[in-house]
Amino acid sequence: MTSAGFNVTSSLTLVGFSWLSGHSSLLFFVFLLLYLFVLFSDSLVIYIICSQRALHRPMFAFVASFLLNSLTVSTLIYPKLLSDLLLSGTGLVQVSRTLCLCQGFFVTILGGASFILLSAMAFDRYLSICYPMHYAVLVTPAKVVLMLLFCWMLPSILFGVSTMMASRLPLCRVQLNRVYCDLYSLVSLSCGGAEAELSGLYNLLFSGVIIFLPSTFLLFSYARILFICLRRSRSFSSKALQTCLPHLLVFFNYTISVCLDLLLRRLQSNRESDTTLITSILILLVPTLLNPVVYGLKLKEVFTHVKRLLSCRRDS
């Protein structure tokens, strides 16, 4: 403890498990089944896209990258969550501040990358539908690779700065009412005055850049697509909107989950409750479970290969 009364401990406590301690065994098996489902379904769709030459197109490259991003987030959270459930007999789980910062950094950049990837998908669909004659020139494999690198590099740089700022903040509390770490919650534990306010301001600014700007661009792209579809034939409009529907479903799923979590945090200010704990779990579960289902069932080209592959395995 410093003279100012700040806590400089290197350990944090995830007290969110205290709400789950009475059902830890049941929740362990539920989360294990959910994680196995995410592993299998995401890997299956990614494998089909990579193995089928007919799916080697920009749209499916973005879908595979998005599911890989989702799978990575799940792998960063589910295994530790499962191990913590086994060890949370007292309802409290200790985690080092360094590990918490690392998990918060990767969860935040991959969450931000999800929005930018969805925005890149919208841009790809916009060019494909609105400029079909120039699409092959506008969206080359090299440009797709550059767009994918941008989707991960931008949040890595922005939230890398945010993570460095958070690592320097003194803590006046060491209890997180979460079951995993995130940068926003870590900063909220600090009472470092102007430095903490600056870090919070940077987090808000970076979140705006990573979430709201891509979301605005995405909605603008799909609005333009809808406008073009209304002027074309019914068969063209139906086919175009069918390819856009999965991306919109995933986008609204992510947006509702993130906005609900942020809204509850702001309403409850500095105090975390069981409501924010529940939203922190839902923001992990709902998108990661829905993504492979949407892309596996709603994209006809992918679903055809999924059905063929699974039927072949049953026959053998």
103's tokens = 């998990």
Set out the domains of the chain in order of their start, with CATH numbers: 11-315 (1.20.1070.10)
11 neighbors 97 (Cβ within 8 angstroms): yes
Rounded to an integer, the average pLDDT of 84-102 is 79
* Run of H or E including 238: helix 234-267
Residue 252: which pLDDT band, with cuts at 50, 70 and 90? Answer: confident
3-state secondary structure of 178: coil
Q: What does residue 132 show for φ and ψ, rounded to 5 degrees?
A: -60, -30
Question: Residues with Cβ < 8 Å from 122, sequence gap 6 or more?
Answer: 217, 218, 221, 222, 244, 247
pLDDT, tens digit, for every residue of 74-85?
998 899 888 888
3-state secondary structure of 315: helix
Rounded to an integer, the average pLDDT of 204-230 is 84
Dihedral of CA atoms 242, 248, 253, 255 in degrees, nearest 10, equals 180
How would you classify residue 109: left for phi > 0, otherwise alpha for psi between -120 and 50, otherwise beta?
alpha
- Mean pLDDT highest for which of 6-15, 80-89, 101-110, 249-258? 101-110
Residue 17 CA to residue 13 CA, distance in Å, equals: 10
Question: 36 burial class (0-12, 13-18, 19+ CB within 10 angstroms)?
Answer: exposed
3-state secondary structure of 190: strand
Q: What does residue 49 show for φ and ψ, rounded to 5 degrees?
A: -65, -40
pLDDT for position 314: 54
* Run of H or E including 93: strand 93-96
Question: 251 burial class (0-12, 13-18, 19+ CB within 10 angstroms)?
Answer: buried
3-state secondary structure of 139: coil
Dihedral of CA atoms 78, 84, 88, 91 in degrees, nearest 10, equals -60
258 neighbors 283 (Cβ within 8 angstroms): yes
102's tokens = 């690392």
What pTM did the predictor assign?
0.85
247's tokens = 């991306």
Q: Is residue 145 scored above 90 in pLDDT?
A: yes
pLDDT, tens digit, for every residue of 268-316?
555 555 666 777 777 778 888 888 888 876 677 777 777 777 676 555 5
